[in-house]
Chain A
Amino acid sequence: MGKSRDGRTPRVEPAAGNGILDRRLFLEGAFVAAAGAAGAAAGPARAEPLAVARWMSEPGAALSAYGQPSRFESKVVRSLPPPPNPATQGIGTARTPLQFLNGTITPNGLHFDRSHSGTPDIDPDQHRLLIHGLVKRPLVFTLDALARYPMQSRTSFIECAGNSGALYGAQAQPGNAQAIHGLLSCAEWTGVRLATLLDEAGVEPNAQWVVAEGADAAAMSRSVPLAKCMDDALVCLYQNGERVRPSNGYPIRLLLPGFEGNMNVKWLRRLKLTAEPVMAKDETSKYTILLADGKAWQFVFPMEVKSIITHPSPGLALHGPGFYEISGLAWSGKGRVRQVEVSADGGKSWAPAALQEPVLPKAVTRFRAPWQWDGAPAMLQSRATDDTGMVQPARAQFIAARGLRGFYHYNAIAGWRIDEKGEASNAYA
Chain B
Amino acid sequence: MPMHDRGAAISALICAVLISTVPARAAETPHFGQPIAPDELTAWDISIGPDGAGLPPGHGTPKEGEAVYVAKCQACHGEKGRGRPNDVLVGGFGTIVSDRPAVRTVGSYWPYASTLFDYVRRAMPFNAPKSLTSDEVYAVSAYILHLNGLIGADDVLDAQSLPKIKMPNRDGFIPFPR
Interface residues of A (CB under 8 A from B): 84-85, 87-88, 91, 116-117, 130-132, 137-142, 145-146, 148-150, 196-197, 199-202, 211, 213, 217-221, 269-270, 272, 274, 276, 278-281, 284-285, 288-290, 292-301, 304, 403, 405
CA distance A149 to B28 in the complex (A): 11
Taking chain B's interface residues, is the majority helix, strand, or loop, or is none over half, making it mixed? Answer: loop
Q: For B37, B44, B118, B130, which residue has the most chain A Cβ atoms within 10 angstroms?
A: B44
Which residues of chain B have C-beta atoms less than 8 A from A150's C-beta?
Answer: 30
Interface residues of B (CB under 8 A from A): 23, 25, 29-38, 41, 44-50, 75-76, 85-86, 96-99, 101-102, 104, 106, 109-112, 114-115, 118-119, 122-123, 126-127, 129-130, 172-178
B110 and A285 contacting across the interface, CB-CB below 8 Å: yes
Give the distance to chain B from A27, nearest Cβ to Cβ, in Å: 34
A285 and B85 contacting across the interface, CB-CB below 8 Å: no
Give the distance to chain A from B148, nearest Cβ to Cβ, in Å: 13
CA distance A258 to B178 in the complex (A): 14
Which residues of chain B have C-beta atoms less than 8 A from A284's C-beta?
Answer: 110-112, 115, 173
B32 (CB) vs chain A CBs: closest residue: A145
A139 and B35 contacting across the interface, CB-CB below 8 Å: yes
Q: For A274, A290, A304, which residue has the most chain B Cβ atoms within 10 angstroms?
A: A290
CA distance A420 to B115 in the complex (A): 53
A279 and B97 contacting across the interface, CB-CB below 8 Å: no
CA distance A297 to B115 in the complex (A): 18
Give the distance to chain B from A202, nearest Cβ to Cβ, in Å: 8
CB < 8 Å neighbour of B36 from A140, A148, A220: A140
A217 and B129 contacting across the interface, CB-CB below 8 Å: yes
A131 (CB) vs chain B CBs: closest residue: B33
Known: A117-B126, A217-B129, A290-B96. A145 touches B33 (CB 8 A): yes
A138 and B129 contacting across the interface, CB-CB below 8 Å: no
B176 and A290 contacting across the interface, CB-CB below 8 Å: no
Which residues of chain A have C-beta atoms less than 8 A from B177's C-beta?
Answer: 297
Which residues of chain B have C-beta atoms less than 8 A from A88's C-beta?
Answer: 76, 85-86, 126
CA distance A292 to B97 in the complex (A): 8
CA distance A70 to B30 in the complex (A): 44
CB < 8 Å neighbour of A279 from B76, B96, B111, B123: B111
Give the distance to chain A from B171, nearest Cβ to Cβ, in Å: 9
Task: Apart from A88-B85, A270-B45, A289-B176, list 6 A-B contacts with CB within 8 A.
Answer: A84-B85, A130-B36, A197-B33, A274-B49, A278-B118, A285-B109
Known: A201-B33, A279-B112. A219 touches B76 (CB 8 A): no
CA distance A274 to B109 in the complex (A): 24
Known: A132-B45, A278-B48, A295-B174. A149 touches B30 (CB 8 A): yes
Give the distance to chain A from B143, nearest Cβ to Cβ, in Å: 18
A141 and B32 contacting across the interface, CB-CB below 8 Å: yes
B97 (CB) vs chain A CBs: closest residue: A294
CA distance A219 to B31 in the complex (A): 27
Give the distance to chain A from B65, nearest Cβ to Cβ, in Å: 18
Which residues of chain A have C-beta atoms less than 8 A from B172's C-beta?
Answer: 294-296
CB < 8 Å neighbour of A217 from B35, B48, B104, B123: B123
CA distance A272 to B112 in the complex (A): 20
